[in-house]
Chains A and B, each alone.
Chain A
Amino acid sequence: MASKERDPLDPVRGRKLLVEGGPSFHDITEQVCTPVEQPGLAWWLAFLPALGGLTIFGASVFWLLWEGIGVWGLNNPVDWGWAIVDFVFWVGIGHAGTLISAILFLFRQQWRTAVNRSAEAMTIFAVICALMFPTFHTGRPWIVYWMLPIPNQMQMWPNFRSPLLWDVFAVSTYFTVSLLFWYVGLIPDLATMRDRATTKIRRVAYGIFALGWRGSTRHWQHYEKAYLLLAGLATPLVLSVHTIVSFDFAVSQLPGWHTTIFPPYFVAGAIFSGFAMVLTLLIPIRKWYGLEHIITIKHLENMAKIILLTGTLVGYAYAMEFFIAWYSGNPYESFAFVNRAFGPYAWAYWIMISCNVISPQLVWFKKIRRNPVALFILSIFVNIGMWFERFVITVTSLSRDFLPSSWDYYSATMWDVGMLVGSFGLFFTMFCLFIRYLPMIAIAEIKAVMPAANPHPPGDH
């Protein structure tokens, strides 16, 4: 095509239109609320497989609790396997949600409004999935409450020097703040749902959760202030939570783990994988629910650009790790990285490199970053690559470390696989329920970024 595609422009500000096709405020409300009010048969086609996955999760957890942690493929050198890999994977997925809702809010990026609601839902569900793994990978999950600093008859207290304890605080705080942030954002939309409700049950249910929102000026003033404060709070949380998750590795002394680049590198990877997951979820959703004029190509393109940026940062970190391994002159450190690229897990390393470093570079091409199908495929590759990144870091470093007499190869059992597949079931079950019962796009915020909301219509001055 010779002629370049042109995005429609806002008649007043001259910037790209965020909502295309010139819908009225009422059209937006209708389009967002219809999937909730008349779900249709297609929803079940997504929900039932998700429930199937949840069953796998339940069965895997049951067998794990019944039989013990030995049902997994862990061995003595590799005592962190898929469970920790999955934990870091899911926590990372969650970070894009907060980046979109908090960091882009602080930067006044108005394109976030179309995607922030589902991205925050994704955060919360991903963090729930993530929390399953540190809970169940302990040998005795029934005493995980010992990780909490509660006065007790043993006069025992957790050790505050372990990053695994910081994980408890980081992830639980992250979950709480994300939930609050999401809920505060939902209140005006819940009031919309309440006011549109046709059955008594819906009216009462949405009515309770809308907390008596009437949309008065005073309400909106407080709302905006609270939202800004939460965004300001959530932003350092995003950075610190995944930093703390990276400390699980970086604080140890293992070659391949003991690296100061981990905190920023993990955060970049988290945003990289999180945005990929947002694309994986939103590209089908905008198609199925006919929301292409709200979640436009521009939105996808912007997210693809962030993927390109963070993917390149991750690629830089991979290169830097190798450089430092050579530059340090430490034989264990050099071996750890030669082992990654050419050892028994080289297959995992090269999957990681091709998915994380090579595939996002395709986003440089405008044809690809404006093509939903291509972006969808790319996002799947990124998700796979980022799972393998955590696998490579965790397993290759553990399987061959200081003492050659304690080298071993780790391979997962069906129960490791069951936990991962099952966690996707848990995630998609919750996500389907979200789509079924809550507006997946922030109605009130979308209306604020439409040209009609501008107090100065064209020709006013």
Chain B
Amino acid sequence: MPAIFPRWTNKIPLAIGVVAPLVGAFLIFAVWYWWSPLYTDMGYRPKQPVEYSHALHAGDMGIDCRYCHNTVEVSPHAAVPPTQTCMNCHSQVQTESPRLALVRSSYETGESIPWVRVHLLPDYAFFDHRPHVAAGVGCATCHGRVDNMVVVEQAEPMSMGWCLDCHRNPEPNLRPLDQVTNMNWDGSPEQAAYDATKDLERKRMPSPPVHCSGCHR
């Protein structure tokens, strides 16, 4: 009886032995990287209805974060400023600019500006800004160097594992309470010298929750 398979098929098991681990490793990498928020969410940069530049306002002009996002210390939700906040200045400054047409019409008609939200957590995760700001977690730690962003983008994955990394070991991400909105703190000599456990201003070290009901209330 003639052979069914040609001689080269003898090499198939060997080839499978070599290729299968590589394919397996590639698949693991593919899922680990391309299906994770590290890849799917980071760098998300939607086009906004008004070409608002954080680099200009927070960076060049040095406006403190809390001037516009004024509820961040007192409310779970850090507010996007209403049109009124814009018009505090822009009723006087750049009053003719075509890029601000939507802001002026919003002010006249009372229609909200349809800002596109960048940092989206699912509604079953209840994030609260207050304890984070109160514990001395800087804005830049989670949101990146917003003062350098012409268009805001998501700087961190905002995944549960990323949250837990800090909740399990918060100390490296803590700074003096008066430096929370300081965008230049990260990488500065002050940061290198700072030890949260020796900070006299700090009444006690934060003990962030790592149980379910901390966030999934």
Residue positions of A touching B, CB distance < 8 A: 151-156, 194-195, 203-204, 207
Is there an interface contact between A207 and B159, defined as CB atoms closer than 8 Å?
no
Q: Which residues on the B side are within 8 Å of A195 (C-beta)?
A: 1
Smallest Cβ distance from A191 to chain B, in angstroms?
11
Task: Tell whether B192 is near chain A: CB-to-CB under 8 Å.
Answer: no
Contact of B161 among A154, A194, A203, A207 (CB under 8 A): A154
Contact of B4 among A151, A153, A156, A203 (CB under 8 A): A203
Is there an interface contact between A155 and B4, defined as CB atoms closer than 8 Å?
no
Is there an interface contact between B160 and A207, defined as CB atoms closer than 8 Å?
no
Is there an interface contact between A153 and B5, defined as CB atoms closer than 8 Å?
no
Q: List 17 A-B contacts (CB under 8 A).
A: A153-B38, A153-B157, A153-B159, A153-B160, A153-B162, A154-B159, A154-B161, A155-B160, A155-B161, A155-B164, A155-B165, A156-B160, A194-B4, A195-B1, A203-B4, A204-B5, A207-B4
Task: Tell whether B36 is near chain A: CB-to-CB under 8 Å.
Answer: yes
Task: Tell whether B170 is near chain A: CB-to-CB under 8 Å.
Answer: no
Residue from B4, B36, B37, B38 having most chain A Cβ neighbours under 10 A? B4
Q: Roughly how many angstroms separate A136 CA and B5 CA in the complex, as a whole number?
A: 43
Please report the total number of B residues contacting A with Cβ < 8 Å: 14
Q: Which residues on the B side are within 8 Å of A154 (C-beta)?
A: 159-161
Q: B161-190: contact bitstring with A at CB < 8 Å (1 yes, 0 no)?
A: 110110000000000000000000000000
Given contacts A194-B4, A204-B4, 12 further A-B contacts (CB under 8 A): A152-B161, A153-B36, A153-B37, A153-B161, A154-B160, A154-B161, A155-B160, A155-B164, A155-B165, A195-B1, A203-B4, A207-B4
Smallest Cβ distance from B28 to chain A, in angstroms?
10
Smallest Cβ distance from B189 to chain A, in angstroms?
33
Q: B121-146: contact bitstring with A at CB < 8 Å (1 yes, 0 no)?
A: 00000000000000000000000000
Q: Roughly how many angstroms separate A204 CA and B36 CA in the complex, as a whole number?
A: 42
- The main secondary structure of chain A at its interface with chain B is loop
Q: Which 9 A-B pairs have the closest CB atoms?
A: A155-B161, A154-B160, A153-B159, A207-B4, A153-B161, A153-B36, A155-B164, A203-B4, A154-B161
Q: Which residues on the A side are within 8 Å of B161 (C-beta)?
A: 152-155
Task: Name the residue on A nearest B37 (C-beta).
Answer: A153
Is there an interface contact between B36 and A207, defined as CB atoms closer than 8 Å?
no
Q: Roughly how many angstroms separate A207 CA and B3 CA in the complex, as a whole number?
A: 10
Q: B1-22: contact bitstring with A at CB < 8 Å (1 yes, 0 no)?
A: 1001100000000000000000
Q: Which residues on the A side are within 8 Å of B160 (C-beta)?
A: 153-156
Q: Which residues on the A side are within 8 Å of B159 (C-beta)?
A: 153-154
Q: Roughly how many angstroms separate A395 CA and B159 CA in the complex, as a whole number?
A: 41
Q: Roughly how many angstroms separate A216 CA and B157 CA in the complex, as a whole number?
A: 59
Q: Which residues on the B side are within 8 Å of A207 (C-beta)?
A: 4-5
Task: Name the residue on B nearest A204 (C-beta).
Answer: B4
Number of residue pairs A-B, CB distance < 8 angstroms:
25
B61-110 at interface with A (beta carbon < 8 Å): none
Smallest Cβ distance from B173 to chain A, in angstroms?
17
Q: Roughly how many angstroms separate A207 CA and B9 CA in the complex, as a whole number?
A: 12
Smallest Cβ distance from B7 to chain A, in angstroms?
12
Smallest Cβ distance from A72 to chain B, in angstroms?
25
Q: Which residues on the B side are within 8 Å of A156 (C-beta)?
A: 160
Q: Roughly how many angstroms separate A156 CA and B212 CA in the complex, as a whole number?
A: 11
Residue from A151, A153, A154, A156 having most chain B Cβ neighbours under 10 A? A153
Smallest Cβ distance from B112 to chain A, in angstroms?
33
Q: Which residues on the A side are within 8 Å of B1 (C-beta)?
A: 195
Q: Roughly how many angstroms separate A207 CA and B160 CA in the complex, as a whole number?
A: 50
Q: Roughly how many angstroms separate A207 CA and B6 CA in the complex, as a whole number?
A: 12
Q: Which residues on the A side are within 8 Å of B36 (C-beta)?
A: 153
Q: Roughly how many angstroms separate A172 CA and B159 CA in the complex, as a whole number?
A: 30
Smallest Cβ distance from A234 to chain B, in angstroms?
26
Q: Which residues on the A side are within 8 Å of B157 (C-beta)?
A: 153
Q: Roughly how many angstroms separate A118 CA and B89 CA in the complex, as a whole number?
A: 83
Q: Roughly how many angstroms separate A204 CA and B9 CA in the complex, as a whole number?
A: 12
Q: Which residues on the B side are within 8 Å of A155 (C-beta)?
A: 160-161, 164-165
Q: Roughly how many angstroms separate A204 CA and B2 CA in the complex, as a whole number?
A: 13
Q: Roughly how many angstroms separate A156 CA and B160 CA in the complex, as a whole number?
A: 9
Q: Roughly how many angstroms separate A203 CA and B4 CA in the complex, as a whole number?
A: 7
Q: Roughly how many angstroms separate A194 CA and B2 CA in the complex, as a whole number?
A: 12
Task: Name the residue on A nearest B164 (C-beta).
Answer: A155
Q: Which residues on the B side are within 8 Å of A151 (C-beta)?
A: 32
Q: Which residues on the A side are within 8 Å of B165 (C-beta)?
A: 155
Task: Name the residue on B nearest A194 (C-beta).
Answer: B4
Q: Which residues on the A side are within 8 Å of B5 (C-beta)?
A: 204, 207
Q: Which residues on the A side are within 8 Å of B164 (C-beta)?
A: 155
Smallest Cβ distance from B41 to chain A, in angstroms?
10
Q: Roughly how many angstroms separate A204 CA and B4 CA in the complex, as a whole number?
A: 7
Q: Which residues on the B side are within 8 Å of A153 (C-beta)?
A: 36-38, 157, 159-162
Q: Roughly how many angstroms separate A151 CA and B159 CA in the complex, as a whole number?
A: 13
Q: Which residues on the A side are within 8 Å of B38 (C-beta)?
A: 153
Q: Which residues on the B side are within 8 Å of A194 (C-beta)?
A: 4
Q: Which residues on the B side are within 8 Å of A152 (C-beta)?
A: 161
Q: Roughly how many angstroms separate A376 CA and B36 CA in the complex, as a whole number?
A: 55
Q: Roughly how many angstroms separate A373 CA and B134 CA in the complex, as a whole number?
A: 80
Q: Which residues on the B side are within 8 Å of A204 (C-beta)?
A: 4-5
Smallest Cβ distance from A415 to chain B, in angstroms?
28
Task: Name the residue on B nearest A152 (C-beta).
Answer: B161
Q: Roughly how many angstroms separate A194 CA and B1 CA in the complex, as a whole number?
A: 12
Q: Roughly how many angstroms separate A203 CA and B3 CA in the complex, as a whole number?
A: 10
Q: Roughly how many angstroms separate A156 CA and B159 CA in the complex, as a whole number?
A: 12
Task: Name the residue on A nearest B159 (C-beta).
Answer: A153
Q: Which residues on the A side are within 8 Å of B4 (C-beta)?
A: 194, 203-204, 207
Task: Name the residue on B nearest A210 (C-beta).
Answer: B4
Task: Name the residue on A nearest B38 (C-beta).
Answer: A153
Q: Roughly how many angstroms separate A153 CA and B38 CA in the complex, as a whole number?
A: 9
Q: Roughly how many angstroms separate A155 CA and B5 CA in the complex, as a whole number?
A: 48
Smallest Cβ distance from B76 to chain A, in angstroms?
22
Smallest Cβ distance from B43 to chain A, in angstroms?
16
